[in-house]
Amino acid sequence: MKRIITYGTYDLLHYGHISLLKRARELGDYLIVALSTDAFNWNSKQKKCYFSYEKRKQLLEAVRYVDLVIPEECWEQKAEDVKLYKVDVFVMGDDWKGKFDFLKEQCEVVYLPRTPEISTTQIKKELGK
């Protein structure tokens, strides 16, 4: 079984997120999504989410491409997650290109193109949030 992992906040889940999850899942048999916790988002990213961690987790678990949702609690956990979950492919959007190349010693690293016309930041701006 080929295992894939990706990371993100997935607030205001939209078709760009779904596209990324679908393309990530197509790279293997089992997709793990490490979902940023509320504390990690606030303390490390200064980002306040519209939906709580539990609600975002519930939404992701309903997406047919996602097999498992785990908490992302710090930037440094990625290498440990790759080992713990026996990950074959680490996937991120191409806005992170090169940032996780250090994981190439443990698994394949793939940066997928983002859906250019949509982003949570854009949605929040348009809603005046």
State the catalytic residues.
45, 47
Residue 117: what residue type?
Answer: E
As a whole number of angstroms, the distance between CA 27 and CA 15 comes to 19
Distances (CA, A) of 120 to 8, 49, 79, 92: 12, 10, 27, 16
